Amino acid sequence: MKFFQTSLRALIVAGSISGFFAGWALLAHAGKPVAADPNPVSVDAPAPLPTLPPLDFSTNSVPTGLQPLPSLPPLSQSALPRLRTRGS
Amino acid sequence: MEFSEFRAMNSDILLAAEGPQENVARGLGLARAFIAAAEARLTRFSDQSELAQLNRSAGTWFNASEELFDIVREARVFIDQRGGLFDPTVLDALENAGYDKSMDEIRAHGVASRRAPAKRVTHDFRAVQFDDAARAIWLPPGMRLDLGGIAKGWIAERAAQILAAYCDAGAVDAGGDLFAVGLPANDAAWRIALEDPRDSDNVLAVLRVGPGAVATSSVTKRRWQQGDRMQHHLIDPQRGTPAETDWLSVTVIAPHATVAEVFAKSLLIAGSFEAAEIAAHREDIAFIAVDGEGHLWGSSQAKEFLDVGFEYA
């Protein structure tokens, strides 16, 4: 059991050291990073936002698709048709 | 023009017909008998009606009469309309608001005090099934229907067709639902007074319409006091309570009475900011709304139906 533990530790240490040097070698041969452009990028000024008309909260606003209709002045019943639509 | 007036469906009914006198009398009699028989079959205020039997049969298949089958089938067509404002399954909500007996009884005796708020149960009318061959209807368990206005419109149109079989021209005016066939001999249109929903003695406009339907829904006709609250019979299906709307009435002109009835009710519930958008999807209807101050508002086609023989303000 002790022999197994010692072997496992040695294997982990050896693996870590060899992995470290392998990574070092890999990075040493990798391409160099490109230096950042010292000149600032020019950005066009944003176009001004369109101005919206103010909201109309008055009670006189007419919803889309509706139109006001004229109504009759008071009339005598005798002048009116007998058929009548009066709701239910 | 001959007239026949009587009371049915909790409304003042007016039949109008012209033609050979003997035929007119026969047509008026048959139309009246049809209305009485159809009311007995379709009312929700009698436990003996066929509609009450259908409601009790929820969860099982019910063999229906041709009339009941036709109306429930037709109601199904409207359930997918824009706005979701037509729903015949709101009977529980109507009764909870106090409308659990006929309007004539409510006017005479008032309503019971408001019930304890129960958990709202909603039903999907799309779940109703039909067997065309057996003329049978299946309601999901617990669902009850109130055919109310759509039944009244359907009855008015059928009664008008009975008149048409005997008369040269005729009309059935069933309170909120009117259907005309043919044209009066001395006129190119039917003239129909649009009643002011704030004052039944006042008329706001006179309409000129051809053969077809005119239906008006109003929140001022069938209303009652329940506790400290005024209630009316137009239930907003999305809330399960009487609709809160900025209009008092909406009148719809359409080719068929069920279309006019369903859209009059739906547009009234929708109110001024949604009605025009809902109606824009139906080229076959025109509507006129009355607001709280008695002003008229209409869809783009509505003005064509105002009788210009009167001087409008």
What tens digit of pLDDT does each residue of B137-196 get? Answer: 999 999 999 998 899 999 999 999 999 999 999 999 998 899 999 999 989 999 999 999
What is the mean predicted confidence (pLDDT) over B64-70? Answer: 96
Nearest CB partner across the interface for B251, out of A74, A83, A85:
A85
Q: Does A82 touch chain B (CB under 8 A)?
A: yes
Q: Which residue has the higher pLDDT, A17 or B223?
A: A17
Residue B174: CB atoms within 10 Å = 27
User: From CA B204, how far away is CA B193, in angstroms rounded?
Assistant: 8
Half-sphere exposure of B124 (CA within 13 A, CB side): 4
User: From CA A22, how far away is CA A16, in angstroms rounded?
Assistant: 10
The pLDDT of residue B264 is 94
The pLDDT of residue B42 is 94
- Split at pLDDT 50, 70, 90, the class of B111 is confident
Given a cut of 60, whether residue B271 has pLDDT beyond it is yes
What is the mean predicted confidence (pLDDT) over A27-52? Answer: 73
User: From CA B237, how far away is CA B226, in angstroms rounded?
Assistant: 20
The pLDDT of residue B186 is 87
- Split at pLDDT 50, 70, 90, the class of B313 is low
Cβ under 8 Å to A: B residues 153-192: 171, 173-178, 180, 190-192
Q: Which residue has the higher pLDDT, B144 or B231?
A: B144
Q: Does A67 touch chain B (CB under 8 A)?
A: yes
Instruction: Please judge whether A69 and B306 are an interchain contact, meaning their C-beta atoms are less than 8 angstroms apart.
Output: yes
The pLDDT of residue A49 is 75
- Split at pLDDT 50, 70, 90, the class of B123 is confident
Q: Does A14 touch chain B (CB under 8 A)?
A: no
Q: Does B11 touch chain A (CB under 8 A)?
A: yes
The pLDDT of residue B134 is 97
Dihedral (CA of B134, B140, B144, B145) sign = negative
What is the mean predicted confidence (pLDDT) over B2-23? Answer: 95
Instruction: Please judge whether B249 and A87 are an interchain contact, meaning their C-beta atoms are less than 8 angstroms apart.
Output: yes
What is the mean predicted confidence (pLDDT) over A12-20? Answer: 90
Provide the mean pLDDT of chain B.
Answer: 90
A58 secondary structure, DSSP code: S
Q: Does A84 touch chain B (CB under 8 A)?
A: yes
Given a cut of 70, whether residue B115 has pLDDT beyond it is no
Chain B residues near residue A86 by CB distance under 8 angstroms: 175-176, 195, 200, 216, 218, 221
Element (H, E) at B216: strand B212-218
Residue B56 identity = R
Give the CA-trace dihedral at B261, B263, B269, B273, to 10 degrees. Answer: -150
Q: Does B94 touch chain A (CB under 8 A)?
A: no
Instruction: Please judge whether A65 and B277 are an interchain contact, meaning their C-beta atoms are less than 8 angstroms apart.
Output: yes
pTM of the model: 0.80
The pLDDT of residue A62 is 63
Cα A68 from chain centroid (whole Å):
41
The pLDDT of residue A56 is 55
Q: Does A70 touch chain B (CB under 8 A)?
A: yes
The pLDDT of residue B3 is 96
Asked if residue A84 lies in contact with residue B201, where contact means CB atoms within 8 angstroms, the answer is no
Asked if residue B264 lies in contact with residue B217, where contact means CB atoms within 8 angstroms, the answer is yes
The pLDDT of residue A6 is 87
Q: Which of A71, A76, A78, A80 is most worth mutating to test chain B (most B CB atoms within 10 A of its CB)?
A: A71
The pLDDT of residue B183 is 96
Across B70-94, b (16+ Cβ under 10 Å) vs e yields ebbebbbebbebebebbbbbbbbbb
Instruction: Please judge whether B279 and A70 are an interchain contact, meaning their C-beta atoms are less than 8 angstroms apart.
Output: no
Chain B residues near residue A74 by CB distance under 8 angstroms: 202
Render pLDDT for B188-223 as a digit per residue (tens, 0 to 9): 999 999 999 999 889 999 999 999 999 999 999 877
Q: Which residue has the higher pLDDT, A66 or B212?
A: B212
The pLDDT of residue B29 is 97
CA–CA min distance B190, chain A (Å): 9
Given a cut of 80, whether residue A59 has pLDDT beyond it is no
Cα B142 from chain centroid (whole Å):
25
Residue B178: CB atoms within 10 Å = 32
Token pair of B11, please? Answer: 């409304």
User: Measuring CA to CA, how many Å separate B56 from each of B60, B92, B134, B180, B304?
Assistant: 9, 14, 19, 35, 46
* Interface confidence (ipTM) of the complex: 0.82
Chain A residues near residue B200 by CB distance under 8 angstroms: 86
Nearest to B250 by CA among B269, B230, B232: B269
Chain A residues near residue B310 by CB distance under 8 angstroms: 72, 75
Residue B17: CB atoms within 10 Å = 28
3-state secondary structure of B234: coil
Q: Does A63 touch chain B (CB under 8 A)?
A: yes
Token pair of B153, please? Answer: 């419109």
- Split at pLDDT 50, 70, 90, the class of B48 is very high
The pLDDT of residue B217 is 94
Nearest to B229 by CA among B111, B104, B92, B105: B111
Contact pairs from chain A to chain B, CB under 8 Å: 131
Q: Which residue has the higher pLDDT, B237 or B1?
A: B1
Instruction: Please judge whether B191 and A67 are an interchain contact, meaning their C-beta atoms are less than 8 angstroms apart.
Output: no
Cβ under 8 Å to A: B residues 60-89: none
The pLDDT of residue A38 is 67
The count of residues in chain B is 313
Q: Does A88 touch chain B (CB under 8 A)?
A: yes
| Percent of chain B scoring above 90 in pLDDT | 65
Given a cut of 80, whether residue A58 has pLDDT beyond it is no
Instruction: Please judge whether A69 and B296 are an interchain contact, meaning their C-beta atoms are less than 8 angstroms apart.
Output: yes
